[in-house]
Amino acid sequence: MADVLFKASVLGLLSLVGLAACGESRSDVGEVALKAARGFMVPRLVLQADQWFAPQPEIFTVKDNGTPTVLQRAPGAYTLQFDRDGQRLTACSFRIQRDRVIAIALKVVNREVRCDFQ
């Protein structure tokens, strides 16, 4: 009988832990949506946090079909850079806030990438 009570109490405890995990989950990240006009050839981009001991920067390309590329990052200041002739040049700097989306439209002017914040 004690064995049955023990198993029932363990099952009940696991059920409570499982229900607590199903509660509202708030993330501590924000999002940046990068979009280039259809047909523009945007070079490789680098998203780097503006802080000491920042994690490795992420190198990526935006989608060429006009749909936004969405990246999730921790809140803070970031720099968007692009590669040109083996050098990294800054396109823009911005802040990502928790539970917010920042939309950036990229355009290429004279081989330079420019940001339009929307």
pLDDT tens, 26-80?
568 999 999 988 777 888 899 998 877 777 888 898 988 888 999 999 999 999 9
The average pLDDT across 89-109 equals: 93
Residue 113: CATH number of its domain: 2.60.40.10
Containing structural domain, residue 85: 30-117
For residue 43, is it within any domain?
Answer: yes
How many separate domains does the chain show?
1
Distances (CA, A) of 102 to 1, 71, 87, 92: 60, 10, 26, 13
For residue 8, is it within any domain?
Answer: no
Nearest Cα residue to 57 out of 42, 43, 71: 71
What pLDDT was estimated at residue 94?
95
For residue 16, is it within any domain?
Answer: no
What pLDDT was estimated at residue 2?
52
For residue 77, is it within any domain?
Answer: yes
